[in-house]
Amino acid sequence: MHSRYTWRTLAREVSLILLALVFLVPLVGLLNVSLKPQDSQTGALAFAFPPTLDNYVQAWNQASLGAALANSFLITAVSVLLIIGFASMAAYPLARVTRGWSRFTFYLVIGGLLIPGQLALLPLYATMRDFGLLGSLWSVILINVGQQIPFSVFLYTMFLRELPLDYEEAALLDGCGPLRSFVSVVFPLLRPVTGTVVILNAVGIWNEFFTPLLYLGGSDNTTAPVAIYGFVSQYVSQWPLIFAGLVISVIPILVVYFALQKHIIKGFAGGLKG
Amino acid sequence: MAATHVPTTSPDVHQPPAQAPPGRRRVGVRAPWWFVVPAISIYLFIVVVPSANGALFSFTDWNGLRPDWSFVGLDNFTAVFTDRTALDALVNTLVLAAAATVVQNVAGLLLALGVNSMVKSRYVLRVIFFAPVVLTPLVAGYVWSFLLSPNGAVNDALRAVGLGALAHDWLGDPDTALYAIVLEIVWQFSGYSMVIYLAGLQAIPAEVLEAATIDGAGAWSKFRRVVLPLLNGAVVINVMLCLIGGLKQFDQVMAMTGGGPGTATETISTAIYKSAFSLGDFPFSIALAVVMTVVIAVLAAVQFRLTQRKSI
A112 interfaces chain B, CB cutoff of 8 Å: yes
Q: What are phi and psi of B60, to 5 degrees?
A: -125, 175
Chain-chain contact of B50 with A120 (C-beta, under 8 angstroms) = yes
Q: How many residues does chain B have?
A: 312
What does the pLDDT read at residue A246? 94
A48 interfaces chain B, CB cutoff of 8 Å: no
What does the pLDDT read at residue B222? 86
What CA–CA distance (Å, rounded) separates A186 from A171?
10
Q: Where exactly are the structural domains of chain B?
A: 91-259+296-309
At residue B8 the predicted structure's pLDDT band, cuts being 50, 70 and 90, is very low
ipTM of the complex: 0.90
Q: Are B159 and B167 in contact (CB under 8 A)?
A: yes
Q: Tell me which amino acid residue A72 is.
A: S
B82 interfaces chain A, CB cutoff of 8 Å: no
At residue B5 the predicted structure's pLDDT band, cuts being 50, 70 and 90, is very low
B114 interfaces chain A, CB cutoff of 8 Å: yes
At residue B310 the predicted structure's pLDDT band, cuts being 50, 70 and 90, is low
At residue B166 the predicted structure's pLDDT band, cuts being 50, 70 and 90, is confident
The answer, yes or no, to whether residue B12 has pLDDT greater than 50, is no
Q: Indicate the pTM of the whole model.
A: 0.88
| Cα torsion through A215, A218, A223, A227, rounded to 10 | 140
Secondary structure class of A45 (helix, strand, coil): coil
pLDDT tens, B100-158?
999 999 999 999 999 998 888 999 999 999 999 999 999 999 999 999 998 888 998 89
CATH of domain A55-271: 1.10.3720.10
Segments of chain A scoring below 50 in pLDDT:
1-2, 274
- Nearest chain A alpha carbon to B24: A165
Q: Which residues pair with B71 in a beta bridge?
A: B60
Higher per-residue pLDDT: B92 or B31: B92
- Helices (DSSP H) in chain A: which residue ranges? 7-34, 54-62, 65-96, 100-111, 117-130, 137-161, 166-173, 178-181, 187-189, 191-207, 210-216, 224-234, 239-273
CATH of domain B91-259+296-309: 1.10.3720.10
Compare CB distances from B28 to A92, A101, A172 and report the shortest one's residue. Answer: A172
pLDDT tens, B17-43?
444 454 444 445 678 899 999 999 999
* CB-facing half-sphere around the CA of A43: CA atoms within 13 A: 17
Q: Where exactly are the structural domains of chain A?
A: 7-51, 55-271
Task: Note the Cα B180 to chain centre separation in Å.
Answer: 17
User: Mean pLDDT, chain B, as a whole number?
Assistant: 86
Q: What are phi and psi of A129, to 5 degrees?
A: -65, -45
The answer, yes or no, to whether residue B71 has pLDDT greater than 80, is yes
Q: What residues contact B257, with CB distance under 8 A and at least 6 apart? A: B145, B171, B177, B181, B264, B265
Q: Give mean pLDDT, residues B72-91.
A: 93
- Helices (DSSP H) in chain B: which residue ranges? 37-43, 49-57, 75-81, 84-115, 122-134, 137-147, 153-160, 177-202, 206-214, 219-222, 228-230, 232-247, 251-256, 268-277, 282-310
What does the pLDDT read at residue A217? 81
DSSP B61: -
Q: Name chain A contacts of B142, Cβ cutoff 8 Å.
A: 228, 232, 242, 246
